[in-house]
Amino acid sequence: MAYLSDPKETIAVLQRYHFMFQKKFGQNFLIDGHVLSKIVDAAGVTKEDVVLEIGPGIGTMTQVLCESAKEVVAVEIDKNLIPILKEDTCKDYDNLTVINEDVLKLDIAAVAREHGGKPLKVVANLPYYITTPIIMGLLEGGAPVDNITVMVQKEVAERMQAGPGSKDYGALSLAVQYYAEAYIAAFVPQNCFMPRPNVGSAVIRLTLRDKPPVTVKSTEMLFAVIRAAFAQRRKTLSNGLGNSPEVPCTKEEAIAILTGLGFSENVRGETLTLAQFAQIADAMA
């Protein structure tokens, strides 16, 4: 069988099906076997695992996953790619299920139940415009997921892993780190894709935590405070909280709470740890 990590094979498949890249789906297909191996290794895929692949495209990574995993469930939004996967590039794999669906509308818990009930390993080469909604949906949705290994824009991977005080640190960093441990497995140059994207990419693995690193009275309040802190980055936290439609306090009340907890009234969100945000959220709640 021909592997699609060979660019000539990818071009042959695209020509055979007169496939046109859809800008609205942000399609960039991987054409580098080393990167494929790094993704599968980072995900820790074994013959015991059921893998949920988001955005299989023409099946480049799907082929490698089917050979590494017990079962693969591939979710592809573009109906034009379904016949390529089912009738051509992946037709020889009997451990593959292809679903033509938007992953944001998919019942992932039901997928896990149908395939043995064990937590899924999620692997994806995500369109960059929709990276954050998909990852946050997986983290917040409560579906049984062991880890998420995804190809994302390099800057987004750095944001997910960033700590207090760095320019990349923000609401996404805190949200990801509340639910998971983040680890960048590889940086991937533009020439590993067809067509070439305009930005560099990175493979990041998010291992879901058994329980969050902080305990709070209300996760809703915690994330409302975090969003308020980073909605207007250059402003002080008390200003952000006072201006937020989600947090029921005035700027003066915010200052009283912050100083009561031992923070400066001019403290900014980007200097605070998740534990400190938890303290503030509990005082607000």
Residue-wise pLDDT for 72-119, tens only, equals 999 999 899 999 999 999 999 999 999 999 999 999 999 999 999 999
Which of 160, 175, 208 corresponds to the end of one domain? 208
Which residues have a Cβ under 8 Å from the Cβ of 67 and sit 6 or more positions away? none
Same domain (yes/no): 92, 233? no
> Quick one: pLDDT band at residue 26, thresholds 50, 70, 90?
low
Contact between residue 285 and residue 225 where contact means Cβ atoms under 8 Å apart: no
Same domain (yes/no): 245, 150? no
Same domain (yes/no): 136, 52? yes
Same domain (yes/no): 157, 235? no
Q: Which CATH number does the domain housing residue 160 bear?
A: 3.40.50.150
Which of 208, 228, 244 corresponds to the end of one domain? 208
Preceding amide of 56 cis, omega within 30: no
First vs last C-alpha separation in the chain: 59
pLDDT digits (tens, 9 = 90+) for 153-190: 999 999 999 999 999 999 999 999 999 999 999 999 99
Same domain (yes/no): 183, 224? no
Q: Which CATH number does the domain housing residue 250 bear?
A: 1.10.8.100
Same domain (yes/no): 140, 275? no
- Is residue 213 domain-resident? no
The pTM assigned to this predicted structure is: 0.90
> Quick one: pLDDT band at residue 232, thresholds 50, 70, 90?
confident
Same domain (yes/no): 239, 98? no
Same domain (yes/no): 104, 81? yes
CB burial of 31-66 (b: ≥16 within 10 Å; e: otherwise) equals bbeebbebbbebbebeeebbbbbbbbbbbbbbbbbb
Which of 144, 177, 208 corresponds to the end of one domain? 208
Give the structural domain span for 247: 219-284
When divided into structural domains, the chain yields a total of 2
pLDDT at 217: 97
Residue 114 CA from chain centroid, whole number: 23
- Is residue 153 domain-resident? yes
